[in-house]
């Protein structure tokens, strides 16, 4: 099968032409496998799609048009009303996000105590120090004042989680720059719960080049040079 190891980008599928050569053609959205309700996604056109296959197939068919360029995955789940993010809320956002990233690493570390696989040895040694120090501020909804106080008092414990998340996202290619599509896995899963995340990432892009550099990312989270 010429298509077996032939890779096509999202929204395209491999097709063998008359000469027997594999090539990528647009996925027919109607031919996408059926999905469950929880697999629905919302596009930036504010339309609900039955899964990412249907969304990216539609985007492919619109290739070369303004609509096609503007259509992206907005967030996971059916489209719903997302409230406007206020200046006050966007200022508070990095406090919660830093705490959340730190707690994710704590959970990965705890799971690795029983079965390894979530973190590399190098990551585990970095997280171990944070984990041993972190028993005083348990996971949960903390007051903004407490999060701010803890960040200022235990600043060193927040640096690695912020760097770690950047490098988790920086994959295609690994170039110390985050594109819209590299941010999508994090952004799309959080929008329904954290309605300020879109504005936060827009404002992180200080030079407006549609890329978030490591320096810009750290600056947004209050990490010093």
pLDDT in tens, 181-199: 899 889 988 998 899 999 9
Task: For residue 179, give the nearest of 188, 189, 170 by alpha carbon.
Answer: 170
Instruction: Express each pLDDT in 69-100 by its tens digit.
Output: 999 999 999 999 989 999 999 999 999 999 99
Instruction: Say if CB 169 and CB 65 are below 8 A apart.
Output: no
pLDDT category at 116 given cuts 50, 70, 90 is: low
Same domain? For 58 and 123 the reply is no
CA distances 62 to 27, 46, 68, 132, 150, Å, are: 12, 16, 5, 52, 48
**Mean pLDDT computed over every residue of the chain:** 90
Task: Determine the Cα–Cα distance for residues 35 and 77; give it in Å rounded to an integer.
Answer: 12
Q: Which of 47, 76, 105 is a domain's end point? A: 76
pTM over 0.85: no
Q: How many of the other CB atoms lie within 10 Å of CB of 43?
A: 21
> By three-state DSSP, how is residue 40 classified?
coil
Domains identified in the chain, total number? 2
What pLDDT shows up at residue 118? 83
Does residue 113 form part of some domain? yes
- 212 phi/psi in degrees, rounded to 5: -110, 110
Structure tokens that stand for 50 in this block: 């039955």
Task: For residue 74, give the nearest of 82, 62, 65 by alpha carbon.
Answer: 82
What pLDDT shows up at residue 133? 76
**Percent of the chain, pLDDT > 90?**
63
The helix-helix angle for 197-204 and 87-114 (nearest 10°) equals 100
What pLDDT shows up at residue 212? 97
Structure tokens that stand for 65 in this block: 């048009």
Q: Which of 76, 105, 126 is a domain's end point? A: 76
Same domain? For 51 and 131 the reply is no
Query: What domain range is 116 assigned to?
Result: 87-221
> By three-state DSSP, how is residue 84 classified?
coil
CATH code (residue 123) = 1.10.238.10
What pLDDT shows up at residue 79? 95
pLDDT category at 121 given cuts 50, 70, 90 is: confident
**With 80 as the cut, is the pLDDT of residue 137 above it?**
no
Q: Which of 21, 45, 76 is a domain's end point? A: 76
CATH code (residue 36) = 3.30.60.30
């Amino acid at each position: 099968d010429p298509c077996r190891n032939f890779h096509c980008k999202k929204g395209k599928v491999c097709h063998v032409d008359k000469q027997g050569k594999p090539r990528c053609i647009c996925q027919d959205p109607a031919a996408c496998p059926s999905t469950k309700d929880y697999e629905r996604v919302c596009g930036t056109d504010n339309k609900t799609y039955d899964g990412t296959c249907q969304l990216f197939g539609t985007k492919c068919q619109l290739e070369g048009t303004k609509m096609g360029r503007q259509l992206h995955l907005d967030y996971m789940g059916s489209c719903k009303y997302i409230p406007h993010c206020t200046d006050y809320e966007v200022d508070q956002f990095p406090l919660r996000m830093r705490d959340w990233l730190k707690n994710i690493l704590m959970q990965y570390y705890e799971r690795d105590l029983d079965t390894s696989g979530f973190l590399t040895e190098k990551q585990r040694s970095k997280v171990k120090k944070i984990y041993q120090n972190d028993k005083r501020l348990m996971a949960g909804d903390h007051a903004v004042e407490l999060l701010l106080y803890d960040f200022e008092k235990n600043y060193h414990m927040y640096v690695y989680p912020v760097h770690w998340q950047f490098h988790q996202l920086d994959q295609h290619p690994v170039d110390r720059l985050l594109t819209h599509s590299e941010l999508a896995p994090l952004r799309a899963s959080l929008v329904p719960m954290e309605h300020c995340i879109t504005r936060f990432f827009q404002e992180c892009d200080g030079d407006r080049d549609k890329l978030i550099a490591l320096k810009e990312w750290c600056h947004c989270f209050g990490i010093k040079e």
